[in-house]
Amino acid sequence: MRRARFYLTLLALTLLPQVVAAADLCRYLSDHDVRWLSFSVPGVLLLLNVPMAFEVLRRKRRVRLPRIVAALVQTTWTAFWLGSIFYLPVLLFWAIAGLVTDTGAMPEWLALAPFALAAYGTLFGARVLRKERVEVPVAGLPRGWWGARIVQLSDLHSGRHVTAQRLRGIARRAARLSPDLLVVTGDIVHNSHAFARQAAEAIATVKAPYGTYAILGNHDFWAGADAVEKALENEGIQVLRNRGLVLQRGGDDLWLCGVDDPWSGRFDLAAALRERPQGAATVLLSHQPNTWPVAQRAGVQLQLSGHTHGGQVAMLWLHRSLSLARFITPFVAGLYRAGTSFQAAEAAQPA
Q: Identify whether residues 95 and 233 lie together within a single domain.
A: no
Instruction: Look up residue 10 and give its amino acid.
Output: L
Domain membership of residue 319 (yes or no) is yes
Confidence of residue 316 (pLDDT cuts 50, 70, 90): low
Question: What's 223's domain CATH number?
Answer: 3.60.21.10
Q: What is the pLDDT of residue 225?
A: 95
Domain residues for 9? 2-123
Q: Could you tell me if 170 and 116 lie in one domain?
A: no
What letter represents residue 164's amino acid? Answer: A
Crossing angle of helices 218-234/2-31, nearest 10°?
120
143 shares a domain with 105: no
What is the Cα gyration radius of the chain?
Answer: 22
Number of domains in the chain: 2
Least confident interval from 32-36, 169-173, 226-230: 32-36
Task: Specify the pTM.
Answer: 0.74
One domain for residues 134 and 117: no
**Cβ atoms within 10 Å, residue 295:** 25
**119 and 161 within one domain:** no
Q: Range with the lowest mean pLDDT among 40-54, 108-122, 194-208, 291-305?
A: 40-54
Alpha-carbon gap, residue 87 to 257, rounded angstroms: 41
**What whole-number distance in Å separates Cα of residue 181 and Cα of residue 144?**
14
Residue bearing the bigger pLDDT, 71 or 120:
120
More confident residue, 60 or 199: 199
CB-neighbour burial class of residue 235 (10 A; exposed 0-12, middle 13-18, buried 19+)? middle
Does residue 91 lie within any of the structural domains? yes
Would you say residue 350 lies in a domain?
no
pLDDT value of residue 351: 32
- What are 57-97's pLDDT values in tens digits? 554 445 555 666 666 666 777 777 778 878 888 888 888 88
Is 332 part of any domain?
yes
Residue 240 lies in a domain: yes
**Cβ 192 vs Cβ 65: under 8 Å:** no
**Strands (E) located in 165-240:** 181-185, 212-215, 238-239
280 and 145 in one domain?
Answer: yes
227 and 78, same structural domain? no
| Domain final residue, candidates 123, 142, 166 | 123
Give a yes or no: residue 290 inside a domain: yes
> Which range is least confidently modeled, 11-20, 196-205, 279-288, 298-307?
11-20
